[in-house]
Amino acid sequence: MERSTRVSVFESDKPSEIQLIKSKLDDAQITNSVENSYLTFTTTPTATSLKVMVKLEDEKNAFEIIDAYLQQSENQ
């Protein structure tokens, strides 16, 4: 089985925001997954950060989609 390098393209502590980004990547047929990790000591121990991960070769396209979403939501 071939193993590919995965990179984080978006992080948030808001599950709704993560789901929105995930669905936009799904719509663009970019395979992605969400990882859960505890935040650093500067936050409460129970707080978790969610990361959207994609294959390294999909990173550029994923960032373009995320940037377009962020610009659109900024202008609203």
Whether the CB-CB separation of 53 and 6 falls below 8 Å is answered with yes
Which structural domains are found in the chain, ordered by start?
8-75 (3.30.70.1530)
> Rounded to whole angstroms, how far apart are CA atoms 32 and 25?
7
> Rounded to whole angstroms, how far apart are CA atoms 58 and 63?
9
| Mean pLDDT confidence for 29-57 | 80
Percent pLDDT > 70 in the chain is 84
Question: Does the structure show a pLDDT above 80 at 70?
Answer: yes
Write phi, then psi, for 36 (nearest 5 degrees).
Answer: -105, 135
Higher per-residue pLDDT: 9 or 37: 9
pLDDT of 36 = 86
> Rounded to whole angstroms, how far apart are CA atoms 53 and 32?
5
Question: Does the structure show a pLDDT above 70 at 14?
Answer: yes
pLDDT of 39 = 55
pLDDT of 43 = 53
